[in-house]
């Protein structure tokens, strides 16, 4: 039985900060951003947007390609931006999607690796329950301290993936290379609002982990490097993915996979899968039957190399033009607005749109309150 990705979609903020603006305000040469880390823009989120609101938008898009929502009986929400140590963020999303109450819902955490972990769980579940579908969501909004090397890599997005038998986008192949080790390259204690990181150590471990995973993948699959037609890499910033690609494949182009991430910024759990969407959307040649190598890395650390085989009907499932329109239609914000957004504030007298139908209305007595657009009622 073939099991894999039947539908995939993503969402990000309606607002964008150009890194040329950030560079000017921080007194940094813009080339340090656009060349040094390979980023040109980043999505920035107004105070009425959070990981739930963008997750709902991504999931609505993904589910628009599914005939029967009631066939989804598991929702896995992957994030490292959780706002609650007990209640799963997936519970809120499940409610707003109107899914059946005959459904398992839980969150997963392991830095940027967590969507890959969720997909492996979903694959196993579908193997035992072939008439079911699993909705896997990865949603993160990334904030780093001002005037740090992490600041220009900020961003955020949500990706929503429906896993099922007879997938119409891509089939999971049955082998992976995995490597886990305890390392303090990136972490966020429960008392901290921003992550702590060691950039050099993280980059070193990313590349080391990739080599180990890829060699284990080749040993298990009995494939060779020439059997990989396309490649996607976890992209905390695009230059990292390019370094990884050069180390494995030399001059093989991954340009199409990085088009979206270069203007969204780091989306943590969603990052690798936005690379996948970007690759599918922006590759003109027919990818049917082609193999895509996927490298997933989550600091701390867990890494995995696995592969997908593109389905014959994948083009009919893409939302390429809508994705491009979503990104090109984002409103550019000023540096002043960016600083306000960082502090969960809005420019006085200005209203900000949400990406989808749900917005965060406020937090009262420690309860998160959400509102739905009147046009959606």
Question: Given 34, 112, 232, 268, which residue is catalytic?
Answer: 112
Give the pLDDT confidence score for residue 373 in this predicted structure. 86
Alpha helices by DSSP H, listed for 135-186, are: none
Active-site residue, 80 included: yes
Q: Please say if the pLDDT value at position 131 is more than 90.
A: yes
Which member of 60, 80, 173, 304 is catalytic? 80
The domain limits of the chain are: 3-376
Residues of the chain with pLDDT > 90: what percent? 95
Confidence band, pLDDT 50/70/90 cuts, at residue 375: low
Confirm whether 376 is a catalytic residue.
no
Using pLDDT thresholds of 50, 70 and 90, give the confidence band for residue 377: very low
Residue-wise pLDDT for 213-255, tens only, equals: 999 999 999 999 999 999 999 999 999 999 999 999 999 999 9
pLDDT reported for residue 376: 46
* pLDDT tens-digit map of 81-128: 999 999 999 999 999 999 999 999 999 999 999 999 999 999 999 999
Decide if domain 3-376 falls under CATH 3.40.47.10: yes
Model confidence band, residue 193 (pLDDT cutoffs 50, 70, 90): confident
Distances (CA, A) of 225 to 193, 211, 215, 245: 41, 12, 10, 12
Query: Are 372 and 358 a contacting pair, CB within 8 Å?
Result: yes
Entry pTM: 0.97
Q: Is residue 238 annotated as part of the catalytic site, yes or no?
A: no
Task: Round the average pLDDT of the chain to a whole number and report it.
Answer: 96
Please give the structure tokens belonging to residue 2.
Answer: 């073939």
Q: Which of 155, 163, 144 is nearest to 238 (CA)?
A: 155
Write down the catalytic residue from 34, 171, 234, 275.
234
Average pLDDT over residues 30-45: 98
Q: Could you give the CA distance from residue 108 to residue 53 in angstroms, rounded to a whole number?
A: 18
Integer angstrom CA distances of residue 131 from 9, 55, 85, 165, 179: 22, 24, 32, 8, 32
Q: How far is CA 353 from the centre of its chain?
A: 21
């Amino acid at each position: 039985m073939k099991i894999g990705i039947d539908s995939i979609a993503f969402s990000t903020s309606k607002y964008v900060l150009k890194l040329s603006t950030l560079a000017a305000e921080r007194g940094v040469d813009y080339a340090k951003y656009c060349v040094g880390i390979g980023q040109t823009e980043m999505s920035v989120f107004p105070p009425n947007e959070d990981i739930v609101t963008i997750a709902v938008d991504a999931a609505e898009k993904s589910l628009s390609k599914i005939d029967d929502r009631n066939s989804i009986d598991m929702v896995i929400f992957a994030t490292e931006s959780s706002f609650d140590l007990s209640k799963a963020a997936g519970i809120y999303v499940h409610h707003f999607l109107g899914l059946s109450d005959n459904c398992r819902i839980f969150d997963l955490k392991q830095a940027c690796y967590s969507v890959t972990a969720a997909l492996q769980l979903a694959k196993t579940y579908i193997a035992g329950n072939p008439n079911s579908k699993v909705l896997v969501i990865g949603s993160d909004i990334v904030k780093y301290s001002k005037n740090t090397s992490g600041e220009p890599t900020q961003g955020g997005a949500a990706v929503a993936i429906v896993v099922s038998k007879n997938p119409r986008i891509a089939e999971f192949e049955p082998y992976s290379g995995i490597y886990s080790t305890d390392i303090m390259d990136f972490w966020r204690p429960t008392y901290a609002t921003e992550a702590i990181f060691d950039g050099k150590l993280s980059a070193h471990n990313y590349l080391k982990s990739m080599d180990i995973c890829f060699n284990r993948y080749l040993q298990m699959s009995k494939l060779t490097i020439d059997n990989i037609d396309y490649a996607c890499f976890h992209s905390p910033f695009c230059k990292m993915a390019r370094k990884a690609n050069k180390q494995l494949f030399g001059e093989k182009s991954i340009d199409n996979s990085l088009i979206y991430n270069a203007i969204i910024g780091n989306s943590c759990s969603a990052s690798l899968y936005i690379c996948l969407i970007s690759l599918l959307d922006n590759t003109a040649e027919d990818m049917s039957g082609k193999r895509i190598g996927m490298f997933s890395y989550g600091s701390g650390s867990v890494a995995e190399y696995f592969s997908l085989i593109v389905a014959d009907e994948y083009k009919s499932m893409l939302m390429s033009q809508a994705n491009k329109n979503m990104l090109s239609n984002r409103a550019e914000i000023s540096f002043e607005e960016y600083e306000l957004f960082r502090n969960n504030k809005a420019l006085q007298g200005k209203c900000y749109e949400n990406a989808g139908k749900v917005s965060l209305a406020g937090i009262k007595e420690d309860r998160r309150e959400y509102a739905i657009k009147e046009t959606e009622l």
